[in-house]
Amino acid sequence: MEDLLAGAMMLARWDVLAALLVGSIGGVIIGAIPGVGPAVAIAILLPATFAFDPIVGLTLLLGIYGSSMYGGAIPAVLINTPGTAVNALTSYDGYPMTQAGEAHRAVSLAYSASFWGGMFGILCLILLSPVLAVIAPMFGSREIFLAALLGIILVILAHRGQIFAAGMLAMFGIFLQTIGLDAVTYTQRYTFGLSFLSSGVNLIVVVLGLFALSQAFFLLTAPDESPDAKPIKGRMSAGLKELMGHKRVATVASGFGVVLGMIPGTGEFTAQFMSYTYAQKTSKTPERFGKGAPEGLIASEAANNAVPAAAMIPLLALGIPGEALTAMMLSVFYVHNVIPGPQLFQNDIDLVYGLYFALIALNVIVMVFLLFSTNLLTRIIRIPTRFLGVMILILSFVGVYSLRNSLTDCMIAAGFGVLGLVLKRLNLPIVPIILGMVLGGIMEVKLRSALPRLNTPLDMIDRPIAAILFAMILLVVALHIRALLGELRNHNAGGDHDLHDSQMR
């Protein structure tokens, strides 16, 4: 009870409240502007958060992460242009409703489903915290190594159709984190005699380059656009009443968001498509999906807004991020010498409870803000994309330079910005590089810590949790190979069928 009160008192601090307001409202605005997105905003703000207390910095970033999807639904519904990538499925049914003259209904439903999903995810996180407190101390070095290895495998396999590219990019990320002075042997690794590489490649510099600068370059090289979103009329709270008629869809979709949010490499996209498919298959009018079905809109928004709270579970319990945004948050913990994982629930439980309360508060703040400011946000959507590109470019370089007052960092970030632009043009994923750097560092440290206590390779999995994680790794790889073989058989069967048809003709 004392820890719960201490967590609540953290939220009562003026600096935490200010961070919560700025993060939650700023996240909505950022989400509503197509072409920016939470990853860009968090990357730009990350250097500034290092100067704050952990609870302040994390609250600011959580506010942006958790609220951007609310804002991203607005352009998805009104102009068929998702504000964030995870709102793409929202436009399937949201925009047809706008074309049918039901823009008000679609937006209010999106807000209500987002709020339902967000609060459901937080409730699951709070209920799971006692379980995490019990299980987390059972994870030693070898268990965390295997969990990180499982995470990076899932991240790679999540990119269906691009597995080879995702694997190579993840390996590139692992390589990047090895550059510099080895902390154990004090030898130089892959520095090639260049003094500026002795301190390694800074994760924040890479993040700003790959996410923020690449997006700036992308916007500056693309045709200038000013999306036009017309104001809407009506009470935004009307969607809450309609949502009650679809409680089952909203709850199941939120459940998908929670389960898949806890699994590294899956996240919002998989949760959305699974919940959307479920809603369509169980609907009395499945033919309306893609043409303005409210259940489709609810399934999409409830699923993606349940993910942020769920994604905090592996981060807090094991120190393992599931995607790029939580990887950025992990750096805030490290800067302040607060290490997520087994010890966090024992030594800093008040910080954990403070984050729970912050997540609840941000959803309430965002919902209240949106009820009164939707038409203001429709004006913000009209910002020209070239102007956005220039602003992102300036803020990114300011953020990079402020890290160590280094022009070299700015040049490295620019190089990664060009790499990010190339990857975007080729439609290749960026996230595996960041998770490769983060998870690769965790894997190296934990493997080195575990090796002195191992006599044979089998000792790595001689404990129950380690054995379970190893079995999960084998199962995931086996299931993926099975799926690939099934696709290959179907492809060959289709080719044989086409050949037979051509011979008959």
pLDDT along the chain (505 residues), means of 10: 68 83 87 77 81 83 84 78 71 80 81 87 80 74 84 80 88 90 79 81 85 86 71 65 81 85 68 79 80 82 84 78 76 76 74 83 86 75 80 86 83 92 89 84 85 81 86 88 82 60 52
**Sign, CA torsion 194/196/199/200:** negative
CA 227 to chain centre: 26
Structure tokens at 135: 């299980």
Between CA 291 and CA 302 the distance in angstroms is 19
DSSP helix/strand/coil, 350: helix
Of 148, 132, 145, the closest CA to residue 463 belongs to 145
Structure tokens at 279: 């809603």
Q: How many CA atoms lie within 13 Å of 296's alpha carbon, on the beta-carbon side?
A: 25
**What integer pLDDT is reported at residue 422 of this predicted model?**
93
DSSP helix/strand/coil, 89: coil
Between CA 21 and CA 362 the distance in angstroms is 8
Q: What is the DSSP letter of 444?
A: H
Q: What is the DSSP letter of 377?
A: H
DSSP helix/strand/coil, 181: strand
The H or E element containing residue 426 is none
**What integer pLDDT is reported at residue 414 of this predicted model?**
92
Question: Do 88 and 82 meet the contact criterion of CB atoms below 8 Å apart?
Answer: yes
pTM tops 0.75: yes
Helix residue spans in 235-341 (DSSP H): 238-243, 247-261, 267-282, 294-318, 324-335
**What integer pLDDT is reported at residue 416 of this predicted model?**
93
Question: Do 89 and 96 meet the contact criterion of CB atoms below 8 Å apart?
Answer: no
DSSP helix/strand/coil, 188: strand
Phi-psi category of residue 176: left, alpha or beta, with phi > 0 → left and psi -120 to 50 → alpha: alpha
Give 130-168 pLDDT, tens digit per residue: 676 677 777 778 888 888 888 888 888 877 778 889 899
Give 62-117 pLDDT, tens digit per residue: 888 888 888 878 777 777 766 776 777 777 778 788 878 777 788 888 888 888 88
Residue 498 neighbours by CB distance under 10 Å: 10
Question: What's the burial of 114, exposed, middle or buried (CB within 10 Å: 0-12/13-18/19+)?
Answer: buried
Straight-line distance from the first to the last Cα atom of the chain, in angstroms, rounded to the nearest whole number: 79
Between CA 434 and CA 424 the distance in angstroms is 15
